Amino acid sequence: MKSALSGVVVLALAVALQSAIIRQITLLQGSADLVLLTLAAWYMHEEAPGSWVWAVIAGLMVGTLSALPWWLYVVGYGGLAAVALFLRRRLWQTSYFAYFFLILVGCALTLGLSWAYLRFVAGAGIPLAPTLNRVFFPSLLLDVLFALPVYSLMDEWAAWFFAEEPAL
């Protein structure tokens, strides 16, 4: 419950920053996904509870703001959570490499789902090649640029959050 409430606070801040500021920092047509970075950094933290709650909250929040259906974001961020939890189970110790791998997978998943929906369901004429050149790769580069600062902030947040847990 406490984790979910903290998720609402952190993710609401991330969504607001994403919509108001980060979305205006563009490289070609790509932009960083602060919500994805926040989720990836949270799931990479060893003490973070391995639940899907944060992914669902993030999906609902972004879905409310975006013109794309909310379930698309829930599926995208849910997939990110699944990969993150899989990595945490398989790897003895999560590393920066796992974090960057998670960002790559999350970026491909969320943007791929968005493109597929727009192309095949909404009928928008968005070819694949410009999507890769003008949206996916620039977005991935910006995600990588923002990755470490977000990881540091989330690390501080997690340290503060778990320090308040009563010792058993």
The single residue listed with the structure tokens 């998943």 is 109
**Residue 8 CB, nearest approach to another protein (Å):** 17
The single residue listed with the structure tokens 């990755």 is 147
Q: Give the binding range for another protein (CB under 8 A) out of 80-88, 97-105, 118-126, 146-154.
A: 118-126
Contact code string over 95-114 relative to another protein, x by CB under 8 A? ----------------x--x
Q: Give the binding range for another protein (CB under 8 A) out of 13-21, 98-106, 146-154, 158-166.
A: 13-21
If binding is defined by CB under 8 A, does position 68 make contact with another protein?
yes
Q: Give the binding range for another protein (CB under 8 A) out of 37-45, 131-139, 148-156, 157-165.
A: 131-139
Interactions with another protein, residue window 34-53 (CB under 8 A): 35
- CA-to-CA dists, residue 92 to 33, 46, 87, 89, 148, angstroms: 28, 10, 9, 8, 21
Binds another protein by CB under 8 A, chosen from 15, 39, 41, 102: 15
Binds another protein by CB under 8 A, chosen from 11, 18, 84, 103: 18
**Residue 48 CB, nearest approach to another protein (Å):** 23
- Residues at the site binding another protein, with contacts judged by CB under 8 A: 15-16, 18-20, 23-24, 26, 29-31, 33, 35, 62, 65-68, 111, 114-115, 118, 122-126, 130-131, 134-135, 139
